[in-house]
Structure 1
Amino acid sequence: MTTRKIVASALVSALAGGAQLAQATDVFRLEGYGAISRAMGGTAVAHDVGPAGMMTNPATLSLMADGDQAMLGLDLVTTDIKVKNKATGESVSSDTHANNRGPYLAPEAALTKRLGAWSFGVGAFAQGGLGTEYGNGSFLSRAAGGLATGLDNSSRLLVLNIPFAASFQVTDKLTLGGSIDAMWQGLNLDLLLGADQVGSLIGAGRASGSLVGALGGLPDLRGAHFSLTKDQFLGSGVDAWGYGGKLGMLYRATPDTTLGASYTFKSRMDDMEGRATLTAIDGIAGQIAFKGKIQINDFQMPAHVDLGFSHHLTPQWTVAADVSRVFWRDVMKDIKVAFTADAGGDINILLPQDYKDQTIVSLGAAYQVNDSLTVRAGGRFASQALSSSTLFAVIPATPRKHLSAGLTYAFSKQSKLDFAYSHAFKETMDNTSQPNTSAPIEVAHAQNNVTLNFRYSF
């Protein structure tokens, strides 16, 4: 293992700390980093949100006071996800059926240093993820013809970001910043495809390889199930390392108004690799398991551009607004699965996703009550990136409207506690189309997020 990966692995372990992943709400991305940003609707491009600013616009590090600052914190996310079979009226909720499911916990850690015109930072943040757990007894675990399989349907995606950031105050008005980010992502997935879904993939040219013929040769094929899951806090069936980066700038238009812009580059992740089991379900022969190696190829986090401004209405009142464009279309056309059985044979599948680019508007306000207390509130509104015709029950990344509130309490000039609460309003989406569902489904998803940070200046 390289030195970079040894250091990064240590940071990942420190970040995870035996915890579980967070459920992202801007598709696979969290709707803001750190409690200050989260309480203000995720705004972070043009105002000081503390060390977590390196995750959105590294140039905001120069807005912090001189000296060093450390931050420790966590997100706690509780989800309300329900899938309904519109043909039968049956429903199933995503609950804690296994050790690595919700409620989801994502710690954060960062350290910054200000040296004159220069500011530096390093951190470890959960950038986003996804988690569902429907168990093995619902209609999602029945193959064609209503055959009960007893096989799980679940998902867990975790994306970690380890930025090394710097900013430089060029003039009194202009600041530039950037970061190089080590990234890690891991995926657990249990997914049952009915025989009709398998046939739809084959008919559309989305399934190929020698195992396609083997499945087709079974006397009464009812479905196929992929399992690439480790039932551990951080363990993932497949994972990969990679890198990303950001560029940012700030411009102080007036003493009370700051403009900001940042660009986050598309990630460069290796293919996720690991072990998996492909189980063919046959009405006569039963369940036939093929163990082997699996890859999820070219699974990337998208590029996005963020523009923002902040303005001091009075010495106590601050307002902020950001507009973001997230380029999901470039990275989520298909989920590319490649499986090679230990006993020989392979299958390659393209699961269609066809995400759309997403526009996000974030609004926030803060009021400094006194030297010890600041209160905040905000809202966040996004266009829908997912298409109903390609929705998976195990990937319900649909919420797009949030309201948030929070506060900062200063125990002293050195120590501060930040708190935020964010509510994602219920979003409902239907899918009646193969290959990503067999039965017509309705997926409803809402959630609550609590964020707590402790900051210490020294």
Structure 2
Amino acid sequence: MRIEIRIGLLLCISGGINSALATDGMYLEGYGPIATGVGGAAMAFDNGTSAMMNNPATLSLSQDPSRFDMLALYLGPDLSTNGQDSGFKNIGMAFGYVRRHQNVSFGFGIFPQGGMGTSYSNSSFLAPMHSLGGMPVAPPALQNESMLGVGRVIFPLSVQVNNNLTIGGSIDYVWATMNLSMVMDGRNFADYATSLGGSGRFGTVSGSLMNMLANPQLGDVNYGYFDFNNGNNYFGAAKASGWAAKFGFTYKIAQDLTIGASYQSRTHLGDLSSNGRVLFSTTGMGIASVGGAIRVQNFQMPNEYGAGLDWKISDNMNFMMDYRRIDWGGVIQNFQMLFSSPQGNLDVTMKQGWHDQNVLMLGVADRVNDHWTLRMGLNLANNPIPATYTNPLFPAIETTHASFGASYAFTHKDSLHISLVHAFNVRVTNGYGQDIDLSEWNAQLMYSHLF
């Protein structure tokens, strides 16, 4: 218990996690502005303590005795569904410290891994809505909101084996947090209820609370509302924790060419748990609200494999390229939510059907002089979410990013790094006929001190 309290205090000091819309699925398009400036590539060159989130073996590419990085992030998605904007924006912070002793580098860091976030002020984007009996329903003035954040407390270790080879790894404490407020109209709820003849095309719902809905005194059901939301964009109502690991290496195969690769394990998280409520609007008895406990089951972050190179084109210019494969298909086939209360329970499964994602990251860095380094890059990926199952509350659909970055060294010991990323607009029409548009501007700023 004391360990959990201390970790919680450290997370608060670090500024929490970044829970806005991530861009390679639920991942950020890059970790740290040095890597993000070149499209997120980071497998084979020194990119500071952000290597903890990339390839920990690159920590040994720095010969400095110690390094401290403090990082601020801004994510600004421009999301709309059927023309209604989601106003969700977010900021976060991270930091890392690494110390080198002879040929061994070790340290500590807290970094956001990614997540998603949306906030619609009412339910008009769901129009047209219909009751369970098929009658038109006016969209309620209820907020529809999602917030999912995943972060890591990382303990890396890296070894310079010889002049050409470095190896590294980390053990990560992983935490996840979630808010959800979601309206589902009666017609879609009926389609989920396969026991009542629903098709189950988009998911299923079952449980003893279904018997309550069959009470004729309730009349027709206009909509249901699932709600566990504490209004905090950093530490949501539902929480879970667990662990994961990373391993990697770099190898200098020529004086001007270094390669690297890493593996990141699937997380081992418990269920996200919270108190919450399920609300039903009925024609017979008005609003029926039931309080209870909610668990989001089987949520994990996936395995990831990556490999890349750093090619020194000239004395001042480098070309970097990474390929990464993210195993979303192994962890996100369904969103499973269990609600239990003294009045009964509901078991809701929403189909997701994510595919694995291939990501190509490439960029160039130009060391203009002793003070300035400029960067630019591209991040290209396939959309991992089938259009049919794309949910306006979980739209991780971006595919193409252009990035720019710069570093300014005040002295050998102190420097400032910045990156700016634009994710180009993607439009998806889901199985409900909803048009979802998403583009994004993101920025990262990092101060580094060597000592």
Question: TM bucket by the smaller chain?
Answer: over 0.9
> In the alignment, what sits opposite 2:450?
457
| 1:445 and 2:438 are equivalent in the alignment | yes
Q: What amino acid maps onto 1:327 in structure 2?
A: D
> In the alignment, what sits opposite 2:222?
222
Alignment size in residue pairs:
437
Whether the 8 Å CA contact 1:22–1:126 is kept in 2: the answer is: no
How far apart are the structure 1 equivalents of 2:20 and 2:253?
A: 37
> In the alignment, what sits opposite 2:427?
428
How far apart are the structure 1 equivalents of 2:63 and 2:320?
A: 20
Q: Deviation of residue 2 (structure 1)?
A: 4.6
Q: What amino acid maps onto 2:266 in structure 1?
A: K
| 1:9 and 2:4 are equivalent in the alignment | no
Q: Quick one: which of 67, 83, 97 aligns to 1:111?
A: 97
- Report matched runs for 1:48-67 at 5 Å: 48-67=46-65
How far apart are the structure 1 equivalents of 2:205 and 2:18?
A: 33
Q: Quick one: which of 88, 93, 113 aligns to 1:127?
A: 113
How far apart are the structure 2 equivalents of 1:190 and 1:388?
A: 22
> In the alignment, what sits opposite 1:248?
248
Deviating beyond 6 angstroms after TM superposition, the runs of 4 or more aligned structure 1 residues are none
Deviations along 1:232-285, one digit per CA (max 9) or x if unpaired, are 343312111111110101111011111111000000011000111100121232
| 1:93 and 2:91 are equivalent in the alignment | no
Q: Quick one: which of 41, 44, 48 aligns to 1:43?
A: 41
Q: What amino acid maps onto 1:159 in structure 2?
A: V
Whether the 8 Å CA contact 1:360–1:382 is kept in 2: the answer is: yes
Q: Deviation of residue 20 (structure 1)?
A: 6.1
Q: Deviation of residue 148 (structure 1)?
A: 3.3
- Aligned-partner SS, 2:57: helix
> In the alignment, what sits opposite 1:436?
none
- Aligned-partner SS, 1:16: coil
- Report matched runs for 1:149-164 at 5 Å: 149-164=140-155
> In the alignment, what sits opposite 2:21?
23
* CA separation of 1:276 and 1:355: change in aligned 2, threshold 3 A: same
Deviations along 1:136-182, one digit per CA (max 9) or x if unpaired, are 25243855322332221111111111110011111222111000001
How far apart are the structure 2 equivalents of 1:43 and 1:121?
A: 22
Of stretches 133-142 and 105-114 in structure 1, the one that deviates more from structure 2 is 133-142
- Aligned-partner SS, 1:47: coil
Whether the 8 Å CA contact 2:39–2:377 is kept in 1: the answer is: yes
Whether the 8 Å CA contact 1:22–1:75 is kept in 2: the answer is: no
- Report matched runs for 1:207-286 at 5 Å: 207-217=205-215, 218-286=218-286
Q: What amino acid maps onto 1:67 in structure 2?
A: P
Identity of aligned residues (%): 30
- Report matched runs for 1:55-454 at 5 Å: 55-84=53-82, 91-95=83-87, 102-136=88-122, 138-140=124-126, 144=131, 145-203=136-194, 204=200, 206-217=204-215, 218-341=218-341, 343-433=342-432, 440-454=433-447
With normalisation by structure 1, the TM-score equals: 0.93
- Aligned-partner SS, 1:59: helix
- Aligned-partner SS, 1:300: coil
With normalisation by structure 2, the TM-score equals: 0.94
| Unaligned runs of at least 5 residues, structure 1 | 85-90, 96-101, 434-439
Deviations along 1:356-401, one digit per CA (max 9) or x if unpaired, are 0000000011000011110000000001100111111111111110
